[in-house]
Amino acid sequence: MRRGNLLALVLTSLTISAHAAEGTYFKFSELLKADAAEELVGPDIKLYWGAQPTPDFPEVARPDIYTRSSISISPFGGSKRHCVEAFEKTLKAMADDARSHGYDAVTNIRAMRDGKRSDDPAGFSCKPGYKTTEVPLVGSFAMTSAAMQRAAEAEERSANVPARPPSAGAIFLPLEPMLTSPEAKAILGPDIKAYWGTKAPEYSQRYGPDEYADDADIGKLQNEEACKQAVLKTLGAMVQEAKTRNYDSIVKIRSVLGGQFAPVATDVECQLGKKTASVSLKSSLASKK
């Protein structure tokens, strides 16, 4: 079914009850009937709504909030169609992010109401905005055993990539001296620990993996020192996100450049330009058990 047909179906068959203060009530079951969920997010991501029973997942992430919007250009403002469109965009963004991080399910999906998770597991009320209509959803990413196996196999492959020379204009340097330096320890502080290569402690929850990148002016610095400064700036971005999200570890810090991991898991591949040195590091945030 095409997206346009989905919207038409929703708007003509939706079970609604209008409340002047709250807008129109939308049921998840109505929004996602006729295989609409698979059409929006793909067959590889399973969705579990509200209090719907779930399998016993080996890994479940912390709840995360997603919000996307629909824009009205009408002089009369938004309509129910914009509520549906915003909902679809939010759900798709959530599923896309789950997929990109290796998860294959999203659990306990609910709408947000007044900045909090809604108590209603069946749907949500939406009052269209004059120009912008938003529908925030909250849910937790989860991994089946199959997804865990795929992630483990991918990690094993990435730890055994063939040797190669550095990319054009780049050099390889060991990460450990940079991440154990006094400067790095000051950035990490007493509450955040960093683990590079394929190392990671046992953790109760994680977030990622994601890429973090930064650069440093070369100026009068030697290339190695400029690369170190770029690594430290990138580490600072990881630490800031770890603190914001309340994680105590940065795990499996790996260098990635042009979509390729450095062949030695504990090396960084530093790109040297005329004026700057730049690095990109991939890692996950975690909370130790």
Q: What is the pLDDT of residues 211-222, one digit of tens each?
A: 999 999 999 999
CB-based contact 179:194 (threshold 8 Å): yes
Taking the C-alpha atoms of residue 216 and residue 115, their distance in angstroms, rounded to an integer, is 39
Report DSSP state, residue 18: E
Domains recognised in the chain with CATH numbers: 3-147 (3.30.110.70), 165-288 (3.30.110)
Q: What is the pLDDT of residues 181-193, one digit of tens each?
A: 999 999 999 999 9
Q: What is the pLDDT of residues 50-90, one digit of tens each?
A: 889 999 999 999 999 999 999 999 988 899 999 999 999 99
pLDDT at 33 over 80: no
Q: How confident is the model at residue 22 (pLDDT cuts 50, 70, 90)?
A: low
Which of 88, 111, 113, 109 minimizes the C-alpha distance to 22? Answer: 113
CB-based contact 212:250 (threshold 8 Å): no
> Given the DSSP bridges, would you call strands 59-71 and 132-143 parallel, antiparallel or unpaired?
antiparallel
Taking the C-alpha atoms of residue 122 and residue 138, their distance in angstroms, rounded to an integer, is 13
> Given the DSSP bridges, would you call strands 276-288 and 267-272 parallel, antiparallel or unpaired?
antiparallel
pLDDT at 21 over 90: no
Q: How confident is the model at residue 32 (pLDDT cuts 50, 70, 90)?
A: confident
Alpha helices in 116-180 (DSSP H): 145-158, 176-179
Q: What is the pLDDT of residues 90-116, one digit of tens each?
A: 999 999 999 999 999 999 999 999 999
Residue 278's Cα: distance from chain center in Å?
23
- For residue 259, the surrounding DSSP H or E stretch is none
Mean pLDDT of the residues in the chain: 90
**How many CA atoms lie less than 13 Å away from 10 in the CB half-sphere?**
28
CB-based contact 148:251 (threshold 8 Å): no
Kindly tell me the sign of the dihedral angle through the C-alpha atoms of 142, 144, 150, 154: positive
Q: Is the pTM of this model over 0.75?
A: yes
